[in-house]
Amino acid sequence: MLLFEIIAVAMAAVRANILRSVLTTLGIVIGVGAVITMVALGEGAQQRVEKQINLMGTTVLTIRPGQQFSFGVSRGDAQMSVEDAEALKAGTSGLLKVSPELQSRLQVAYLRWNSNNQMMGVWPEYFEIYNLGLSAGRFFDEGELNGRRRVAVLGHAVPGQLGETPGELMIGQTIQLRGIPFEVVGVLEEKGDAAFFRPDEQIFVPQSTAQFRVMGGRDRLNAIYAATATTAELDRAFGEIDRIMRREHRLQPGAEADFNIRNSADLLATFNETNETFTMLLAGIAGVSLLVGGIGIMNIMLVSVTERTREIGIRKALGATKAAIMTQFLVEALFLCVLGGLLGVGLGYGAAALMTRVAQWDTVVAPSAVVIALVFSAGIGLFFGIWPARRAAILNPIDALRYE
Amino acid sequence: MSELIIRTQGLTKHYVLGSETVKAVRGVDLEIEEGEFVAIMGPSGSGKSTFMNMIGCLDTPTAGEYWLDGQKVSDLSDDQLARVRNGKIGFVFQTFNLLPRATALHNVELPLIYAGVGSKERRRRAQEKLELVGLADRMDHKPPEMSGGQRQRVAVARALVNEPALLLADEPTGNLDSVTSADLMKQLGDLNKAGQTIVLVTHEHDIAEHARRQVHLKDGVIERDFENKPVEAAV
Ligand SMILES: Nc1ncnc2c1ncn2[C@@H]1O[C@H](COP(=O)(O)OP(=O)(O)OP(=O)(O)O)[C@@H](O)[C@H]1O
Ligand SMILES: [Mg+2]
């Protein structure tokens, strides 16, 4: 009953000073909005990475050249050759599908069109490892690999870059890779964009063809890819690869490996780690702005107490108790903070949506972030409202009335 | 034999200002019975307001004792005093002390809000008092839209709305012209005739004439205390 009246009184005070109330709330609105947006960005980035890793395949192991050491001193980047890939294939048959990757960015010509693309020299297994599908034509096969045939499978976006938009029209056509004619035998399905794996704009040719006919015999591999059938086999595959690679590279037992093996989960973990740090940092900064917003509220409440000292005096003279006065000011502060919090949540949603639309950043507004932001802003209202409220409540009525 | 509304014994108020102590009220013994109309007079600085604030429970005495309506209030806590002010006292200030942003009606309702009276009942009682002071047509006006006399009448309605045992007024006519003052005093006289105990501070003799008893303060003590000659003829 009385509480209801006091709330009404507090609301009347908010209404009587709309501009001041709005300005007071602004700090909280911006603070909460910033927290929600930042967390949404972090969450969105995380989900995007997870999606990408799934796209890449969770059973893929990537072997990359590492540092080469002799007597503990680095001698620069180690090399990985096609023999390594062949040894892996021979030594783990049944367990692993293996493909080397020779990479070269080169000029691609088709009729009067030119484009600059990445040529990937791979084995036919590559398409299975990454679970790539065809939208037209076929993959190249083992025979074409062994025969160093000039055949190419185009990423989904390549026909468009070469002016011939529908992929199937490219089948059987001849394109020039660094001036060397290749027959297009297949066009891939769209795969989408996955961080360091973007097959849509790549051109796949047999590794042997790439090595001997385009790159002048150079067989320095960018990476070797291997995939198991199930994730359960990953650990065993890891051990096997390590053993075979050490043997091939003639490393002493216990010596530092000159290659490294990563699986998608590792990549995910590293990514998440940096991403989490980043999110925490952003949320921290946003949290500081929320705190500043809270101090703003306290400041305004204090000014309000001073400004309304006479009012407090009148109310006390007419019988308002300490609790009544304190409740009135607390309700006012709480109301402003919660209102600010709600508006901030709206702002956060809006900003996140805008970032997704304008900058194409993935954002996910987590319900937990909304709840935490709201509880936090209510907490700020309480925390920063109590002191001014107490100051108002303990004023002696006669002193308050005398205040000019 | 009427009941005592006010009984003070050695009521004292000192103000400490740095190294100096101002002895505003220096031991006042006073008894006021139910139904009395008392004017407190005295030169400026004689301690009238200080004394009134203490009997209005707005301020606490430095020493001495004070019984209000049979209850000893000189050693009550802040919140207990708030309840006494709310239930037993109506105070009319020289400067009106109305909430400028609230309507006359809401201003009059205020004491009832803190008494926990329901909104319908509150409204009814506030309207009744505003009608009593002749402001039936000004209920929804805010103080800045009213004349000084009207504001003071709102203040009187507010002081009366909780049916106080004691109506106090500290120079209620101090900011009013003589015609409006006379109106207000007539109103207070009528209230008193209806049984309302009233104590008012003034330093104008013609105002004090409206009361039935005069208490003169000087330097914080009672200098004279006497019954007025019947004033009916004079009005
Ligand atoms: N809050 C205060 N702090 C210090 N001294 C005060 C305070 N209030 C009043 N006094 C002093 O106490 C004395 C009595 O003041 P009080 O206001 O009671 O006088 P008064 O009789 O009401 O005078 P007036 O007729 O001018 O209103 C004065 O000397 C005044 O200076
Ligand atoms: Mg005075």
Domain ranges of chain A: 3-52+269-402, 79-257
Cα B224 → chain centroid: 21
Residue B13 counted as domain residue: no
Nearest-by-CA chain A residue for B161 = A318
Q: Classify A347 as helix, strand or coil.
A: helix
Task: Pick the ligand that lies closest to the CA of residue A402.
Answer: 1
Residue B6 counted as domain residue: no
- Residues B105-134 have pLDDT tens digits of 999 999 999 998 998 999 999 999 999 999
Considering chain A, what is the average pLDDT of its residues? 85
The boundaries of the domain holding residue B114 are 35-49+77-227
B234 touches chain A (CB under 8 A): no
- Residue A210: DSSP 8-state: I
Position B234 scores a pLDDT of: 45
Alpha-carbon gap, residue A392 to A313, rounded angstroms: 9
Position B233 scores a pLDDT of: 45
- Residues B180-192 have pLDDT tens digits of 899 899 999 999 9
What is the whole-number distance in angstroms between the Cα of residue A183 and the centre of ligand 2? 108
Measured from CB, residues less than 6 Å from any atom of ligand 1 are B 15, 17, 22, 24, 42, 44-50, 203
Using CB atoms, pick whichever of A9, A319, A397 lies closest to residue B83.
Answer: A319
Q: How far is A333 from chain B (nearest CA, A)?
A: 20
Using CB atoms, pick whichever of B79, B99, B118 lies closest to residue A314.
Answer: B99
The contacts of residue B114 (CB under 8 Å, 6+ apart) are A2, A315, A318, A319, A320, A321, A324, B82, B86
CB A282 within 8 Å of CB A45? no
Q: Which of residues 140-199 of B touch A (CB under 8 A)?
A: 158, 162
Position A73 scores a pLDDT of: 65
- Residue A81: DSSP 8-state: -
Alpha-carbon gap, residue A230 to A312, rounded angstroms: 73
Domains: count for chain B: 1
Using CB atoms, pick whichever of B97, B114, B118 lies closest to residue A319.
Answer: B114
From the number of C-beta atoms within 10 Å of its C-beta (0-12, 13-18, 19+), residue A325 rates as buried
pLDDT band at A208 (very low <50, low <70, confident <90, very high): very high
Nearest-by-CA chain B residue for A398 = B58
Alpha-carbon gap, residue B170 to A95, rounded angstroms: 101
Task: Pick the ligand that lies closest to the CA of residue B47.
Answer: 1
- Check whether A227 has a pLDDT greater than 80: yes
Both tokens assigned to A329:
């000011």
Inter-chain CB pairs, A–B, below 8 Å: 63
Mean pLDDT of B147-173: 94
B118 touches chain A (CB under 8 A): yes
| B85:A321 CB<8 A | no
Q: Which residues pair with A119 in a beta bridge?
A: A104, A203
Name the amino acid, one letter, at B203.
H
A323 touches chain B (CB under 8 A): yes
A97 touches chain B (CB under 8 A): no
The helix or strand, by DSSP H or E, that contains position A180, with its residue range, turns out to be: strand A180-188
Lowest mean pLDDT among A351-355, B155-159, B228-232: B228-232
| A319:B111 CB<8 A | yes
CB B53 within 8 Å of CB B220? no
Q: Classify A260 as helix, strand or coil.
A: strand
ipTM of this complex prediction, to 2 decimal places: 0.93
Mean pLDDT of A119-145: 92
What are the phi and psi torsion angles at A10 (to 5°)?
-65, -40
- Residues B74-83 have pLDDT tens digits of 889 999 999 9
Choice from B19, B28, B46, B217 to test ligand 1 binding pocket (greatest atom count within 8 A of CB)? B46
* CATH number, residue B166: 3.40.50.300
What are the phi and psi torsion angles at A302 (to 5°)?
-65, -45
The contacts of residue A209 (CB under 8 Å, 6+ apart) are A121, A144, A145, A148, A149, A150, A151
CB A74 within 8 Å of CB A67? yes
- Kindly state the percentage of chain B with pLDDT values over 90: 82
Which of B53, B57, B58, B154 to mutate: most A Cβ within 10 Å?
B58
